[in-house]
Amino acid sequence: MLPSEAELKILSFLWKHGSCKAIIIANSFLDEFGWAKNTTYTIIKRAVKKGLVMRTDPDFICTPLVEQKDIQINSIDGIRKIFFDDSNFELIKSLINDTKFSSEEINELYSLIEKEKRSE
């Protein structure tokens, strides 16, 4: 299950900072996003209910239960299926169009393509 945008903010915080008390997240989000503490707690509870975050008592410690890479892959898969007729080629072509790459990035892309060709 993919997280909502708000749940993704919670997860991103936890991926960056590691497990921590909900009050730390709430204070940070009050400063950064202007969220009331109750709003942050509500979003954390939703993330817990979805199995994205684990909450342990007594200090209301929050721990991510999903890896960032897994969320990225699932999100990209969804975008590919919805917008690109489930075509990796069309997705990649879209990402490359209108993008300016450095010479180093272009060389890395060529290396990835060559590696893929060798594995066929």
Which whole number is the average pLDDT over 18-29? 97
Predicted pLDDT of residue 12? 97
Predicted pLDDT of residue 29? 98
Instruction: Using the predicted structure, report yes or no on whether residue 118 has a pLDDT greater than 90.
Output: no
Instruction: Using the predicted structure, report yes or no on whether residue 1 has a pLDDT greater than 80.
Output: no
Question: Average pLDDT, whole number, for the chain?
Answer: 94
State the pTM of this model: 0.79
Angstrom CA distances, 105 to 15, 23, 49, stand at 26, 41, 41
For the segment 45-81, what is each residue's pLDDT rounded down to a tens digit? 999 999 999 999 888 999 999 999 999 999 999 999 9
Predicted pLDDT of residue 57? 87
Residue showing tokens 């997280």: 3
Task: Please report which helix (H) or strand (E) contains residue 5, including its range.
Answer: helix 5-17
